[in-house]
Amino acid sequence: MNHPIEQIRLTQYAHGGGCGCKIAPAVLSQILAELPQIIPHPDLLVGTETGDDAAVYRINDTQAIVATTDFFTPIVDDAFDFGRIAATNAISDIYAMGATPLFALALVGMPINKLPLETIQQILAGGASVCKTAAIPIAGGHSIDTPEPIYGLVVLGLIHPDKIKRNSAAQPGDVLILGKALGVGILSAALKKDELGADGYQQMIRTTTQLNTVGTALADLAEVHALTDVTGFGLAGHLLEICRGSQLSAELRFDDLPILSAALPLAQAGLGTGASERNWQGYGKQVDLPADLPEWKKKLLTDPQTSGGLLVACAPDAADAVLAMFRQQGFGDAAKIGVMRAGEARVRVV
């Protein structure tokens, strides 16, 4: 307990970091395949059927509760920043359903005999600061002593049942819009190797702590047909979830993808994450790549995004309005990146 807070490197206490420590898609599918089917309930509007971002339970004709949880090990060394990132990431699932967050519960697992209490306090303070920005209280939680630092939130939100944005309702011809630039996983890998400069770190913190508040506004647009957030399975993985749920294919234009400027040279130099390769092993057979696509581009498609951007499928005539909504709320990297097509559930990269 004698170490000053500034000497504590949280990432050294974790085998993975952020959404990169999620169970690989293929392994998760095997685990879930053996579980019994959920008994249908008329008021459970969204469950586990399509791997959506949150569960939704109807209370009455005008109100439904949206519930989610998310937690992970440190993606950065700074305790306050780790708390901020984890909280932002957890709240994102509420926005990805189009809902308004109501309150949160903290999930805390800490190696009590390894970390100074001040460091743990800073993690919790970081999470609380984000909840304050989102105008929600942390109303309680649960804590245990664990080998690795773990922090996250249970978040509850509210939405009108008719305005729920699922990941399974895209339509042929829908334009795909991505709200944040890619490359968080690559930046986190560089950080762990002491190869990330100050500018890269600031880019990483700026994007991972930006709340996806635009999701609540998107709920009011009937032309927004499907919505999700891009996290640990990477852009290709979460787009595939839209394809499977909607029984459609997607055409993705790589050159239109927004990429964090600090991550681009690192990716081109071959830096990537183990989670990126696990993602590809899990769903790569459903992704069609150009024969000459460089390996670094494939890594960006599967790069695990912690607190990533919203992915929207909307009617073509609403695409400019949706893009304008993103930019009005400070998402300067938001871009049109592809289109939904009729056909088998696959992603084709062009």
Task: Tell me the sheet residues that pair with 281.
Answer: none
pTM for this entry: 0.93
pLDDT at 16: 65
- What is d(CA 15, CA 12) in angstroms, rounded to the nearest whole number? 8
At 65-116, the pLDDT tens digits run: 999 999 999 999 999 999 999 999 999 999 999 999 999 999 999 999 999 9
* Block mean pLDDT (10 aa), the chain, length 350: 54 68 68 74 93 96 98 95 98 98 98 95 98 98 96 98 98 98 96 94 98 98 98 97 97 98 97 93 96 96 97 98 98 98 98
pLDDT at 11: 84
The answer to whether 19 is a known catalytic residue is yes
pLDDT at 334: 98
Catalytic residue among 19, 21, 131, 243: 19
pLDDT at 1: 34
pLDDT at 24: 66
pLDDT at 19: 57
